[in-house]
Structure formats: C-alpha cells, structure tokens
Structure 1
Amino acid sequence: MGHIYITFKDFRICSSCGSHSVIKFVLIMKSSSHTRDVQEKVVCLIMGSNLTRHTFGFIQSRLFPYYFHLGSACAFFNLTIFAMYHPSELLTEEETFQIIVLFICVTVAGLNAQWFGKITSEIMADMHLIEQSCGLGKDIGLSTNREAYIKLKESNPKYKKFSHQLTLYHNTSSLCNLCCIICNGISLYYMAANLSTL
C-alpha cells in the first residue's frame, strides 16, 4: 500500500507510521522545552529572593548543568523529528524558516550547555570561596548587603575580576536562554497555526 502524506505545513507525516503519535510526541517535546525555559526564570526569581546567596548559588551550580543539557536534548529532538518529516526537496519557505529557527535553538542551547552555563557555575563557585573567607554569603536574597560585596570588589582584585567574568558569562547564558524561548515560541506558533490543516 502506498504512503499517503498529510500536508500539515509543520509535518508531512506518513499515514502508515503512527502519525498521531508522532504529532503528540512533537507537541509534547516543543511545549515541554518552551515551558522549561519559562519555569527556569520563575524558579530563579523565587529562589533568589528566598534563599541565602550561597545556597541559591549551590543549587544553581548543581541543577543548571542538567537543565542546560535537557534543553539542548529537547532542541535536538525537535530539529531531528522536524527534519525527518520534511524532505529538503519538498520544503516550503515557511518550513525552511522553521528548520533555521530550530537549528539556531540547537546551536545556542548546545553552546549554553557546554560552555556559557558551565563557566558561569565555575566562576560562581570561586567567588563563593572568597565571599566565605570574608564572612559573606549568608544573607537572604541577592540584593541584600550590596555594600559589603561592593567593598569586597574594591579591595580584592581577584574577586573583582571574577565578578566581571560572572556578569559577562551569566548575561550571555541568559541571552542564550532568551533566544531558546523565542525560537521555541516561534516553532510552537507555526505548529498551532497549522493544526487545523490536519
């Protein structure tokens, strides 16, 4: 029996290979990836204002590697599944755009998992050691006792260097996360817009 293809702009799915299961799986992957990005921001805000600085940093350094690798795995699976069901010779402009968006998401998530996030955690751990030696880090919330941290920066060149590096890598990592949120949002939008054509 020949394969019947359903043109679903986001999927050209073969009817004989469990199309509904594949669609459900992809929708779960895409929505999970997008939800994970948003939840991470909310959780960080809550933890950052309710835990001591070093407890928050310790939790981040332990959880973020898993979070970043999970994000890059979700992005990779999204791209792989999309590419499997979209032969390059049959791609429309819209589908080409979606492949590019998914590729950007995979690249950015991979960089964040392997480099920016990892270095951010390492710098934070080094800074915590210096802060502990000065009796700092037990204050609740990231914005409390700022004067003491400013003084430490002024008096300790190594801590000042770490602080500048942390700002750079943390901001870059946050930018990567934002890029993934936008890419996943665009991908979800195209999927949702084309669900009615199934």
Structure 2
Amino acid sequence: MLRVCVLVCALVFCNGNDASKFEDLEKRINRLEKEHRTCLVKETEKRASNPASPAVAFSAYLSSDVHPVAYNEAIIYNAVKLNEGDAYNAHVGRFKAPIAGIYHFVASVQSYSSDYIDFELVRDGSYLCRGRGSRTYESTGTCASTVHLNVGSDVWVRHYSTNGNFIKGSGYSSFTGHLVHAD
C-alpha cells in the first residue's frame, strides 16, 4: 500500500513530464524493500539461534506432604516437571545458576493444618521475598522475585518460622524459575 502511495505521489509530482525521475524513484523503492526483507530475515535468524541465551528453566513440586518442617529447613521440591539446562537439583531443592543473568522465580507453599506456614525464597543465604500460607486450612502463600544471579549462585526455598510445620504436597506447593536475560 505504501508503495502505491509513493508511486502516485511521484506521478503527480513529476506531472508525467520526467519519466526518468519516476523510474529512479521506483528503483530506490525496490532496493529499500529488498534491504528491509533482508534485515527482517537476519533478525529472525538471530533470535532463533542466539547461543548467548540458552534455555534455563525448571518447574518442581512437592509430591507428598512434609511434616515436621524445622526452622530454616530447606523445602525440597522433589518432583521435577521441567529442568531445562539441568540447573535444579531435586535432591537438595536448590537451583544453581549455570550462567549469569536476570532470573525470575516463584515459590508457593500450602499450609496443611490450623497453623500458618512461613517461607522465604533465598539467594546465597539471604532472603529475596517471603510468603505465608495462612491459618486457614489449606491456604497457599506465594513469593516471587526477579533477580540478577552470577554463575554458581544458589536459590532455594526455606521455612523461616518456628510456627507451623505442615506443608501440603500432591502438587499444591511448587517452585519454578527461568532465565529472563543472559548477561
């Protein structure tokens, strides 16, 4: 459509008197359209095959209830649904960054008794955010954080209160994370 508008304007501007200007304009338009298509193809190929941005993502959940849960005890999400990049260790419940970059994590914990359950998302020993499954029976708390990690940084979820020590499993409590952007 843009091409037609430009050609019509060129005809009006040239008043049909100078066909060479019109032909030059048409050649320039053809060249620009070809360059534009080439740029689009290169950008698409770049996005599709960028080795600097490998896929790093995981999703895990508790397959069964956890009781008792001690103060500062790691919550080990043992059932892994996805572990692209092999960065999540289901035996210890920790994610270890294979490359530096911006990551996003979400942790959820569901209480299973009349007690609440407090938990926190932790990076290298320091908490990023906290969540709470309230005293209501089977209430779910959620904590999400976007953070920069260096290679080898650990992220995990832990119980951080002396109150509440029942966590509902069967998929109701989960831990997920993924690389948003590599350095």
Fold agreement, TM-score > 0.5: no
TM-score, reference length from structure 2: 0.26
Higher strand share: 2
Higher RCO (CA < 8 A, seq sep 6+)? 1
Higher helix share: 1
TM-score, reference length from structure 1: 0.25
